[in-house]
Structure 1
Amino acid sequence: MDSEVYRRKLPHIQPLFGTFFVTYWLHNSLPVLIKQQLREEYSIEKQRLQKSDAYSITVNDELNRRYFGQFDALLDLCTYCPDYLSNTAVAQIIADSLHFWDGNRIDLIAYCIMPNHVHAVFTLISESTDAGKGNTLKKLMHSIKSFSAHEANKALKLNGEFWEEETYDRLVRDNDELRRIVKYILSNPVKANLCSDWKSWKWTYLKPEYDEFS
């Protein structure tokens, strides 16, 4: 499969088309020292596993999931960090920036807007269609983040960085994994004690065709 490879501080290998689980977060959502510590722990553990006879794609996937789970839990717990997405007008801007591309560059399956980060899962529309020409995950996320950052800063009367540059993304390999990811996204505000039922969280969305995954 052709792939586009690029790196920020979180490593990704991106197939050009497919279904992706993505997470992006506000600038300065976590203290630099905490992020550095988490990255160092991940790097050390990955190097250890790569030298082991037990190393495999499955083992690597499990490490990535564990690393992301720790990172996401820290985002939920970071009560002293920016929470601009708690602002109703800003949250609406973020939601609109995702829905804008639905049916055009993506098939938007689900998302959840948390106080300082966003989880979403969607399928990139194939390059074989007019809408999909030149459509890559990197370009899509740049469009979503740059537009929403500009509008959110305007609404909040702020300047400067809004989103962290890096984005976590994971290729969804099959329907079982998609089901798990959808459940993870929908349960996020419940686990963070923001609501008792995901359906009562205004900024959670699930496309009706995927109701069985909830």
Structure 2
Amino acid sequence: MQKHIKLPHIDAFGYYQFLTFRTNDSVDAYVFKLLDNNDLKNSHKQYKVDEYLDNSQNGAYLNDIVLEYMFDFIKMQNNVLYEIISFVVMPNHVHILFKQMQPMAKTIKVLKAKSAKDINVLLKKSGKFWASGYYDKVIRDEEHFTKVYNYIQNNAQKAGLNEDRFYSIYERS
């Protein structure tokens, strides 16, 4: 049995990154169990978590006006934090493919802190909105880029969501 260690987040300026972050209320005991499973590769863990969250209503706040807000907010950071390629806003998590322009810690802080404050106002909520941590992966090559892009593009449809939750520089949104 091979043990997998948690890798540090990597700043790779000028390279493409795949980023995922989740609502705090979406992370339940099952998600923690998956994330703590040291028998799975980190990428496989993340895939299983995303698959579970695609079918979970836990923390599913990213709908309607909040969905619109996140679309605008993520696009507003284009050419400030990153060069956006594509993203999908699922009901309880977000995937973004971008070329890194700022340190990942700064990117995450801006994305999560400002949006959490604004979303809590929109929802008339208070407290922690986004879960601690995030998943990021430097894109290795063109094949990996295509795989991640297709995953983001098809995520909402695969989860049976009818709303347009996908954005890409390659398609009209």
How would you bin the TM-score normalised by the shorter chain? 0.7 to 0.9
Task: Determine if the alignment matches structure 1 residue 120 to structure 2 residue 117.
Answer: no
Q: Which residue of 2 aligns with 1:20?
A: 17
Change (3 A) 1:85 1:66: same
Cα distance, 1:30 vs structure 2: 2.7
Large movers: runs of 4+ above 4 Å = none
After superposition, give the CA deviation of every residue in 1:140-166 in whole Å (9 maximum; x if it has no partner): 111011111111111111110111121
Matched-pair contact (CA < 8 Å) for 2:18–2:136: yes
Number of positions where the alignment pairs a residue of Structure 1 with one of Structure 2:
165
Q: Which residue of 2 aligns with 1:163?
A: 130
Cα distance, 1:105 vs structure 2: 2.6
Cα distance, 1:91 vs structure 2: 1.1
Task: Determine if the alignment matches structure 1 residue 176 to structure 2 residue 143.
Answer: yes
Q: Which residue of 2 aligns with 1:56?
A: none
TM-score by length of 1: 0.72
Cα distance, 1:76 vs structure 2: 1.1
Matched-pair contact (CA < 8 Å) for 1:12–1:169: no
- Which has the greater radius of gyration? 1
Q: Tell me: higher relative CO, structure 1 or 2? Use CA pairs within 8 A at least 6 residues apart.
A: 2
Provide the rounded CA distance (Å) in 2 between the counterparts of 1:12 and 1:191.
Answer: 30
Q: Which residue of 1 aligns with 2:168?
A: 206
Provide the rounded CA distance (Å) in 1 between the counterparts of 2:36 and 2:130.
Answer: 22
Q: Which residue of 1 aligns with 2:33?
A: 37
Q: Which residue of 2 aligns with 1:152?
A: 119
Structure 2 residues not aligned, in runs of 5+: 1-5
Provide the rounded CA distance (Å) in 1 between the counterparts of 2:35 and 2:82.
Answer: 30
Cα distance, 1:104 vs structure 2: 2.5
Provide the rounded CA distance (Å) in 1 between the counterparts of 2:75 and 2:32.
Answer: 33
Structure 1 residues not aligned, in runs of 5+: 1-9, 47-62, 126-134, 196-200
Counterpart amino acid of 1:20? Q
Equivalent residue of 2:106, what SS? helix
Counterpart amino acid of 1:174? D
Equivalent residue of 2:125, what SS? coil
After superposition, give the CA deviation of every residue in 1:11-53 in whole Å (9 maximum; x if it has no partner): 433134121101111112031x213321332x2x26xxxxxxx
Provide the rounded CA distance (Å) in 2 between the counterparts of 1:190 and 1:89.
Answer: 20
Cα distance, 1:108 vs structure 2: 0.3
Q: Which residue of 1 aligns with 2:76?
A: 100
Provide the rounded CA distance (Å) in 2 between the counterparts of 1:13 and 1:143.
Answer: 16
Task: Determine if the alignment matches structure 1 residue 82 to structure 2 residue 59.
Answer: yes
Q: 1:143 aligns with which of 110, 116, 135?
A: 110
Provide the rounded CA distance (Å) in 1 between the counterparts of 2:131 and 2:33.
Answer: 17
Provide the rounded CA distance (Å) in 1 between the counterparts of 2:115 and 2:19.
Answer: 16
